[in-house]
Structure 1
Amino acid sequence: MSEKTGILSSIVETLKTIVYALLIAGIFRTLFFQPFWIPSGSMKDTLLIGDFLFVNKMAYGYSYASCPSIRIPRFGIDIDARDFCGVFDGDNGRLFGGEPERGDVVVFRHPVTGRDFIKRLVGLPGERIQMRGGVLHINGEPVELEDDGVFVETYMPQGPEQLSPRCANTPVSPGGTCEKPRQTETLPGGATHPVLNVGEQASDNTGVFTVPEGHYFFMGDNRDNSTDSRVPRASRGVGFVPYENLIGRADRVMFSSGGRSMLAFWTWRGDRFFERIE
């Protein structure tokens, strides 16, 4: 074998290895777990900006939304899940489908934009959901709330998008202490989790939302800083989320970075490694 032939053979083998690795990674991401990086503060203090987690795709079975979307704006790459698996879209069904439970923290595809969102499931099909005075009501009954101190963080830009937190004790100077009252919310069925409030605003008092069959109602734990099902799709909100748009359940934070990049290891939060998501 000539030296030129040997080099060409080596290049071909390397390319085959790369292709196989990408195929394996794609299958793993489609069927089992999808990485997710928390970009905003809508789920504080359950999830913080910079938390890195894997989404369990086996929890609810599979639909077109289980296929990965590949978006790399820097290189103009925007491949949607429908481009891969659009043939399975439209019947609001799932393969090996499992029903989500109230209180689950779920990653789903936004019904309009197709972007991945993460929120808490609070309303099931057929239920009536309403906010009154900042208190969640389900089928006319208020959920149980118990005061749980104050959530405190530093007022400074956070994460890759450099978003500054909203504070109940405004105005707060850069580097100052940002505070939000925290309560423990108990949903029907017994799931408990913290919720934060900044102050009175329009989303604290809503009309009654009747969740259609085959759809779900989601809200962020940081109630006054969350675009969720309280905002209709027509107003650039989430609205009701179809069953087929669910991607998977978030079970555990793998690690967390308080900086602009997950590679900045000196900003990692040591107390959040393998933190269970409640």
Structure 2
Amino acid sequence: MTVVVLDAPSGPLLPYPSWLAGADVVLFTGRSPAEIRDTDGYAEVRPFARYEASAQVERAVLALAEVRTVAAIVATAAVDAIRAGALRDHLGLPGQGRESAILFRDLVAMRQRLAGEAVPTVPFAAVRRVSDLYWFAHEWGFPLTVRRRRTSGWPTVATLRDEAEVREFTLGGISGKLESLPDLMAEPQIERSLVVTDLDSWRPDAGDSTGDSTDVPAVARAAFAALPPPAGPYPYAVEACRTAGGAWVVGSVACDFGEARARDAVRAQAGLAPQLEEVS
């Protein structure tokens, strides 16, 4: 069978041929040819100079599917998730589809799904224009947190404490191009949060005197149930945040794609058993 691996550079190249032994592994990568010294075990390796900025990769996968039977698409980098999901949908392949991938990539879409399933979330809104920030500050008060909504980890780009900081932040606009919507969202600042990954073994912090920390697993479990499970033997990590009123709400849900689980996750996306003896 042919397994297509989408490889946006995000750390060392994983040993896909040994992990996917028995499959014809085709690597489509954003790495330069100089970075790929060892191509043994690959049926084909194709570097793309404009890997993330064009549709060349998608067209190449579709062209490959016309001459080979593509059985699976593997993508471990977050930036490849939506692309891989769309290709799986188009080719009728198992695994995470485009809509599911969007939920885990776009924090606004994720919280909209959670809120629609009655899961309490941190208040949020997409930032489309400068005036939005003034309105959100009016609704929630300062400080106001501005984050990237579609970037891995949803990093904070600004904490706005008053109108003067809003004016400084928006000087020159909030989008690089007038015709594109900014990759931004806003939320009120919440000071305290924690991450829950294992509901069965989670215990409240013995030093926590807030009184209702045992509510955290219930909120996290509701978030688990509200989102489609990703392919792979890696769990969700739920960020739970405490509001000023003392309630726990969900900030985000991410796949805990740790290094220790990388091989099993790759094999799961390829439709193979999680355990595999080392190939020398």
Q: TM-score, normalised by structure 2?
A: 0.25
Question: Relative contact order: is structure 1 or structure 2 higher (C-alpha 8 Å, sep ≥ 6)?
Answer: 1
Whose helix proportion is higher, 1 or 2? 2
